[in-house]
Amino acid sequence: MNEDLVERAESDPQRPRYHFTAPGGWLNDPNGLGQWQGTYHLFYQYNPHAAVHGRIHWGHATSQDLVTWNDEPVALVPSDDGPDRDGCWSGVLVDDQGTPTLVYSGNRDGRQLPCVATGSADLRTWVTDPGNPVIDHPPPGLDVTGFRDHCVWRESGHWRQLVGSGVTGVGGTALLYDSDDLREWRLVGTLLVGDTNERDRTDDYWTGDMWECVDLFRPPSLEPGGPASDVLVLSACDDVSLHHALYLTGTYAGDHFDPVALERLDLGGSCFYAPQSFTDEGGRRVMFGWLQEERPEASSVAAGWAGALSVPREVTLGVDGALWQAPVREVASLRSEPVVGAVGVLDQGRRIALGSGVAVDVELVVRLEPGAVVEVAVRATPDDEERTVIRLARGTADDAGQVRLELDRSRSTLDPAVEALERQGLVPVGLDGSVALRVLVDHSALEVFANGRALASRTYPTRDDALGVQLVLTSGSAVLDSATTWVMRDIWSGPRTLWPSVDG
Ligand code: DQQ
């Protein structure tokens, strides 16, 4: 049955070929990201039995270059009767004086508690700690909405840990703990508490009832001498929905986080969720997020797979005090066959062809006058029946320092069951109105980067000829300074291996 799952998954035309996917079955959050003696390790929430969120294992893959991966044996399997009997939920990898160690959430009877596992030197085999769970209840006296997911680091000779949580009726939170040995933990307190009542649940900035997958780090500056700030990433949810990933800039000091600004991490809404980041051996902060499916569950089940990861994103702090995100430079190593578009002053309504493909990387720079609107269409059929449109609309007067980035999926697919919500958000522009746009199209996965802001989404065109990439000025004046499209290579060099092999 499992081999069949891989076969079905690999033959699905919607399956991304240069975004990370599980060999078959279900994938959600990236976990345990790190670089260990040169090798990149990626673990992920994984159900090898079916393309649904079930008894979650930890899948594992390794890479030398962050973009091409090898499937490794499953790292964590739910135990027969332990605290992770019903699933090994999200967590992190840390180096405990040379011993690779996972801190994750054991799921049992609908509750999650922190657990630990130690690994062999090659990180291929893992043993769960007999003392699990290492924290056996959420803080007494605190009515929590949840207690799971971990961010663990060394500080002043101790371990520190954040556990994602929320205070019922108050807001999401991150609980701060302290330890000498990763096994005995002392509660320090709440790092900070959000306000669930401050905004409407439909608001793009709503911080939720519960913070999942909290991630605290200090990003490098985009430019030498740029501002410094700590960043707390959180994935806001309630008991019905996974909403979106947000981040706070501010200062972590004295057991608290003093926030300065709250920002959206990705303008694609719930598509980019549960991100995790790590510092690689070169000092870069690299982030992966889960790209959720946006087609009906029955379609994923039939296809034998669900869930992809974003490309690895390098995150830095810009001079505007916000996170700047860009695909790591290694993504460009997958490029082949460039198509260079004609540049110059754009005529309104004249379409410029920028190549074609189901897996392409489009990079362009366009200068928009105030009021100008430029559209880039991808996965476009020759007759326009299917097309996904990325729109850049520069404001006028007081708003001229911003461009509205919109993703219009109203004609992305002829399949009426697929989500077609519009996505949008603001992107900063300089005085010359220039936008550096990068569009990564990979079958059903789509990631857009515009002046450091990111927007991830999913599109499921049905027609084989939904391949076109085009640019058009629909309003005002603009100049196209450069435009190149590359076809992208597949990141898998051999057949996928489904671990573990299970019958039935
Ligand atoms: N996914 C995991 C949880 C986490 C959630 C379960 C976020 O640990 O809170 O698969 O997507």
Whether the predicted model's global pTM rises above the 0.95 cut: yes
* Nearest alpha carbon, ligand 1 atom 9: 212
Q: What percent of the chain has pLDDT over 70?
A: 98
Given a contact cutoff of 8 angstroms between Cβ atoms, the answer to whether 226 and 317 are in contact is yes
Given a contact cutoff of 8 angstroms between Cβ atoms, the answer to whether 187 and 167 are in contact is no
Kindly list the distances between the CA atom of residue 266 and the CA atoms of 20, 30, 123, 181, 245, in Å, as whole numbers in the listed order: 18, 16, 31, 35, 7
Chain mean pLDDT for the chain = 96
Helices (H) and strands (E) in the chain, counts: 2, 35
Mean pLDDT of 118-140: 98
Kindly list the distances between the CA atom of residue 191 and the CA atoms of 138, 165, 306, 497, in Å, as whole numbers in the listed order: 15, 11, 34, 41
> What domains, with CATH codes, occur in the chain?
3-327 (2.115.10.20), 333-488 (2.60.120.560)
Whether ligand 1 lies within 6 angstroms of the CB of 163 is answered as: no
Whether ligand 1 lies within 6 angstroms of the CB of 90 is answered as: yes
Among 213, 238, 276, 310, the mutation site with the greatest number of ligand 1 atoms within 8 A of its Cβ is 213
What is the CA(103)–ligand 1 centre distance, in A?
14
Kindly list the distances between the CA atom of residue 24 and the CA atoms of 79, 100, 214, in Å, as whole numbers in the listed order: 22, 27, 27
Handedness of CA 174, 179, 185, 187 (dihedral sign): negative
Whether ligand 1 lies within 6 angstroms of the CB of 149 is answered as: yes
* Nearest alpha carbon, ligand 1 atom 6: 89
Please give the backbone phi and psi of residue 59, each rounded to the nearest 5 degrees, phi first: -75, 165
Q: 273: exposed, middle or buried (C-beta count within 10 Å: 0-12, 13-18, 19+)?
A: buried
Mean pLDDT of 202-221: 97
CA angle 191, 257, 456 (to 5 degrees): 95
**pLDDT tens per residue, range 383-441:** 999 999 999 999 999 999 999 999 999 999 999 999 899 999 999 999 999 999 999 99
pLDDT of residue 504: 30
pLDDT of residue 494: 84
Q: What percent of the chain has pLDDT over 90?
A: 96
**pLDDT tens per residue, range 434-477:** 999 999 999 999 999 999 999 999 999 999 999 999 999 999 99
Given a contact cutoff of 8 angstroms between Cβ atoms, the answer to whether 206 and 243 are in contact is yes
Mean pLDDT of 232-258: 97
Please give the backbone phi and psi of residue 71, each rounded to the nearest 5 degrees, phi first: -70, 135
Catalytically active residues, by annotation? 29
pLDDT of residue 24: 96
Close Cβ partners of 329 (under 8 Å, ≥ 6 residues apart): 314
**pLDDT tens per residue, range 258-309:** 999 999 999 999 999 999 999 999 999 999 999 999 999 999 999 999 999 9
How many CB atoms are closer than 10 A to CB 125? 12
pLDDT of residue 2: 67
